Amino acid sequence: MLRWFARRLLLAIPVIWGVVTISFVMMHLAPGDPARTALGEKASDASVAALRHQWGLDQSLPLQYVSYLRQLVHGDLGTSVYYHAPITSLMAQRLPVTLSLVVLSAILTMLISVPLASRSATHPNGLAALAVRLFNAIVQGAPTFFIGAMLILFLGVRVAIFPAGGYPASIGGRAWALVLPALTIALGTVPIMVRGLRAAMTESYGSEYVAFARSKGLPERPIRYRYVLRNAGISGVSILGIQVGALASGALVIEQVFAIPGMGSMLMTGILNRDYALVQACTLVFGLLVVVVYLGTDLAYARLDPRARLS
């Protein structure tokens, strides 16, 4: 197991390097000048040239890339030219917010998907299964920001159960404010999770061990939870791990819609203001997050399925 885990860590290194390289190249190929954006359109060419020299933007692209890699090796993410603060301190403030949002979205995804998939697999030709398929089609066809706007309109304005936006100072207020954006992100992942769990549960219902349990006279409820859901949970863990990237990308948009001060809103601010160091640091952190979750998913899969440990 340790040898397998070490090999997975080694394979993660080129992935992280690829994320760093692609984000660096994409930002430098994007139109616009960070120095001109910082000083304004009315700034003189001499002032812009002086600021570009101060930031090292007048160097060739390979030299800038080598300098950036050298900073990363020493743990220096740089300084944000927009916020005028070290990016490390900005990450310490924004990253816990986004992580809380992603974790809550994953929890809500499972809380919604498991009952829907269970009901749909238990009665595949019933009215409930038809309603689940209709729900999946509607939710999957709607953009995430549209779902968020509708939830704000109904649950945040008309019913006024949840706050329509913002991030309060108290811990309880923050947790309550994250429910609506987390639900918005979760609804975008629920259809994929429901289909995967339903297929796994349908396969389990047709297996020999379920037929043997029924032959012993076990009721349907213990069979469903002890045999069917337990084996379908292996597929659920894999699907949820794969969808973490979708949850993180959904946070980029939803944090803007609900005015949540997380990594997503900071990344969008960096992109709009051509803050190279900030965008590259946010991309690196998101890439590390996905890689760590994938490693955790592999470990959980090996823990749940003995066949994976044997292979």
Closest to 110 measured CA to CA, from 37, 177, 186: 186
Q: CB within 8 A of 6, min separation 6: which ones?
A: none
CA distances 123 to 64, 129, 134, 179, Å, are: 60, 7, 15, 31
- Are 79 and 110 in the same domain? no
Q: How far apart are CA 195 and CA 180, in angstroms?
A: 24
- Are 141 and 263 in the same domain? yes
DSSP helix, strand, coil percent of the chain (3-state; round to 5): 80, 0, 20
Least confident of 2-6, 93-97, 181-185: 2-6
Q: Range of 80's domain?
A: 20-87
Q: How far apart are CA 63 and CA 143, in angstroms?
A: 41
Domain boundary among 64, 87, 110: 87
- Are 107 and 235 in the same domain? yes
Cβ neighbour number for residue 248 with a 10 Å cutoff: 23
Task: Classify burial at 177, counting beta carbons within 10 Å of its beta carbon; exposed 0-12, middle 13-18, buried 19 or more.
Answer: buried
- Are 150 and 268 in the same domain? yes
- Are 213 and 97 in the same domain? yes
- Are 124 and 179 in the same domain? yes
Q: Quick check: 205 and 228 in contact, CB under 8 A?
A: yes
pTM of the shown model: 0.81
DSSP code for 83: T
Residue whose structure tokens are 């995967």? 196
- Are 131 and 205 in the same domain? yes
What pLDDT does 311 receive?
53
- Are 237 and 113 in the same domain? yes
Average model confidence (pLDDT) for the chain?
Answer: 82
Please check whether residue 4 lies inside any domain of the structure.
no
Domain boundary among 87, 113, 140: 87
Domain boundary among 49, 69, 87: 87
Q: How many domains does the chain have?
A: 2
pLDDT at residue 307 greater than cutoff 70 = no
What pLDDT does 108 receive?
92
The pLDDT tens digits for 66-89 are 888 888 888 888 888 888 888 889
Please check whether residue 29 lies inside any domain of the structure.
yes
E-strand ranges in the chain read: 79-80, 85-86
Please check whether residue 177 lies inside any domain of the structure.
yes
Assign 1 a pLDDT band (cuts: 50, 70, 90). Answer: low
Please check whether residue 10 lies inside any domain of the structure.
no
- Are 72 and 115 in the same domain? no
